Amino acid sequence: MKKSEILKDLLNIPPEIWMVLAILAGIALIPIILKISTIIYIRANREKLRNSEKQKVASIENESDSLVNKYKKCLEVISDLELNQTIDCSSAVVANINRDPMSYLVKYSNVDYSHKSLDYMKGLLVFYNSYAEFYDKLQKLNIRLFNKIPVIFRPFIKLDKIEEVIYDFDDNLYEIDYPYLKFSYVSSAGRSKRNSEIELNEEQLEAIIENIKDRIGKEGHTKHQRSRMTKELREAIKKRDGYTCQICGNSIEEEPNLLLEVDHIVPVSKGGKTEPDNLQTLCWKCNREKGGK
């Protein structure tokens, strides 16, 4: 078929069919036209919509500014902790980080089992909790404003579009993200790539805080209990036990050069205290054997 013939055929289509086609095209355009008019409507009524929830809009904008400012401080903490970095590592590390994120954090960032890290993590958690609250409030307010738009426009607008048009938010608000540590493995030929990531979201932050608290608590306990073991107490326990090993029964009386030691029945590392009830006299041999168990 030649071009001129196609043209001829088209011209031969009866005008009724052209009409139907034109109507169909018009119907197809309706949603696009409504979408555009919805945005025009919201833009034109921006002040009216803002004024309809004046206090709530003002408060959410204030909150967003304060979040942006607080986030700047968080970024300082994040950089001090050497987070938000990508670390080149082996494929084994990439595969394993999520089994024990804490130890990989300790190894590859400045996060450690210190009071400083603990305070930093608590600060970050407070921030991300308030960020989550902010977003809840914002969502609710978006819905309230949405419901003030005439029904006919509603199917053609998304909540985030309302957000974009209505509020005066600092662009940095949309930069707020969880701290992370990324691990990347690239094979020597560069053919194979694997990535994984520790994201310090609220849940992860809570777990890290518990980890650090636990470790600091144990260290504090150990230090304190060890410091309570004085020369006097040691002597008093040996005397109480009649200078006799509480396991084998060997005593100074039988073996004058026997080396006696004072032992924690429940070890300090397992929460045992330095108190007479938890202390016993052992000969060095039994004490080594007990320690080896």
| Residues forming the site for Zn ion (CB under 5 A) | 245, 247-248, 283, 286
CB closer to Zn ion out of 216 and 247: 247
Least gap, CB of 256 to Zn ion (angstroms)? 15
Rounded Cα distance, 244 and 10, in Å: 115
Least gap, CB of 282 to Zn ion (angstroms)? 6
Least gap, CB of 283 to Zn ion (angstroms)? 3
Helix (H, G, I), strand (E, B) or coil at 130: helix
Least gap, CB of 241 to Zn ion (angstroms)? 11
CB closer to Zn ion out of 38 and 244: 244
The pair phi, psi for residue 245, each rounded to 5°, is -65, 130
Least gap, CB of 257 to Zn ion (angstroms)? 14
Rounded Cα distance, 67 and 170, in Å: 10
Helix (H, G, I), strand (E, B) or coil at 200: coil
- Burial tier of 112 (Cβ tally within 10 Å: 0-12, 13-18, 19+): middle
CB closer to Zn ion out of 75 and 247: 247
CB closer to Zn ion out of 38 and 287: 287
CB closer to Zn ion out of 9 and 254: 254
Least gap, CB of 81 to Zn ion (angstroms)? 50
Q: Are 209 and 120 in contact (CB under 8 A)?
A: no
Rounded Cα distance, 57 and 172, in Å: 18
Tell me 149's DSSP state.
S
Least gap, CB of 197 to Zn ion (angstroms)? 54
- Helix axes 101-108 and 202-227, enclosed angle (nearest 10): 80
Alpha-helical regions (H) of the chain: 3-12, 15-44, 46-52, 54-80, 91-96, 101-108, 115-146, 159-166, 202-227, 231-240, 284-292
Q: Give the angle 111-112-114 at the CA atoms, nearest 5°.
A: 120
CB closer to Zn ion out of 126 and 248: 248
CB closer to Zn ion out of 58 and 259: 259
